[in-house]
């Protein structure tokens, strides 16, 4: 089979390494970002520069997106000069953003009416995993579309799980964010308790990592909390957005999620204190300085 032409829209901290891996695997690639300077490294590596999402889609068999939130996905998919208006019937769109399941279903329906498949395929693992090609991808959409996408997804993902129909990928990502964000708050509480009790939090972190208290968030975020190093890697505004998706989904299902609600409150306080661009590890400071 001929190698499909790919397009990538959204070149932030995640999009750039994901798109770079597509180039490394030999795919022809057209890219677009709101900031032209974001495209420059990829163009230098062999990608073509698109003039709009529609232009990217017109040149692509599969168009991928990785943008900030649901509003941004709707804009690049369905807005003026959006992917909807450039895609040919029979092509595929893959959205890697983290958005509400209902938004994913709405966009899928709009694209389907024009003969275009959509996969909602949010990812987990962060920029380091994107660079290493070891992301986890949770996918919602049709079986045939998932099978078509697997070779492309495998360029930057080690784990690809088809969860169910459109929206199911985003439900899985909401579950992922509960585990991530609630564990992060637990890490902050543990490190603060150790510090205030007069013991070495780094040693506490090390021993916890050897037992049932171990978690990826303890491993990654505790050192930042101990060092008060909150330069944005995973900016707190993104976790704040994600936990609101979780709570809205829970409310629609008649559920109360007290741990998620507590994490949301702390993240909201961090936003109010001007910490939106700080790493999410800065929730530690909200607890330390109530």
Domain chopping of the chain, boundaries: 6-164, 171-288
Nearest to 191 by CA among 279, 284, 259: 284
The answer to whether the beta carbons of residues 19 and 42 sit under 8 Å apart is: yes
Name the pTM for this structure. Answer: 0.95
Collapsing DSSP to helix, strand or coil, 81 comes out as coil
Does 173 participate in catalysis according to the annotation?
yes
Nearest to 77 by CA among 38, 103, 40, 42: 103
Instruction: Measure the CA–CA gap between 127 and 149, rounded to whole angstroms.
Output: 21
pLDDT score, position 1: 60
Architecture field, domain 6-164: 3-Layer(aba) Sandwich (3.40)
pLDDT score, position 233: 83
The answer to whether the beta carbons of residues 5 and 30 sit under 8 Å apart is: yes
Q: What is the mean pLDDT of the chain?
A: 97
Class of domain 171-288: mainly alpha
Q: List the structure tokens of 278.
A: 């700080």
pLDDT score, position 257: 98
Positions in the chain short of pLDDT 50: none
* Residue of 24, 173, 203, 233 marked catalytic: 173
3-state helix, strand, coil in the chain (%, to 5): 55, 15, 30
pLDDT score, position 121: 98
């Amino acid at each position: 089979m001929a190698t499909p032409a790919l397009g990538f829209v959204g070149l932030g901290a995640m999009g750039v390494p994901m798109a770079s891996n597509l180039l490394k695997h030999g795919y022809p690639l057209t890219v677009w970002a709101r900031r032209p300077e974001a495209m420059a490294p990829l163009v230098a590596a062999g990608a073509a520069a698109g003039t709009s999402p529609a232009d990217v889609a017109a040149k692509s068999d599969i168009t991928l997106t990785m943008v900030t939130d649901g509003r941004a996905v709707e804009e690049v998919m369905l807005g003026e000069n959006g992917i909807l208006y450039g895609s040919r019937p029979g092509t595929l769109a893959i959205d890697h953003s983290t958005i509400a399941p209902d938004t994913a279903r709405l966009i899928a329906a709009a694209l389907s009416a024009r003969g275009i498949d959509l996969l909602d395929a949010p990812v987990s693992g962060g920029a380091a995993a994107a660079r290493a090609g070891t992301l986890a991808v949770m996918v919602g959409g049709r079986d045939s579309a998932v099978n078509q996408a697997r070779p492309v997804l495998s360029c930057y993902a080690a784990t690809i799980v088809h969860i169910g129909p459109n929206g199911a990928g985003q439900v899985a990502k909401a579950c992922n964010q509960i585990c991530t964000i609630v564990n992060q708050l637990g890490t902050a509480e543990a490190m603060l308790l150790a510090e205030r009790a007069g013991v070495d939090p780094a040693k506490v972190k090390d021993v916890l990592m050897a037992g049932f208290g171990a978690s990826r968030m303890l491993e990654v975020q505790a050192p930042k909390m101990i060092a008060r190093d909150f330069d944005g890697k995973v900016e707190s505004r993104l976790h704040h957005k994600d936990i609101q998706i979780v709570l809205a989904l829970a409310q629609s299902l008649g559920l109360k999620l007290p741990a998620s609600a507590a994490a949301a409150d702390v993240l909201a306080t961090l936003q109010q204190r001007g910490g939106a661009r700080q790493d999410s590890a800065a929730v530690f400071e909200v607890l330390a300085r109530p």
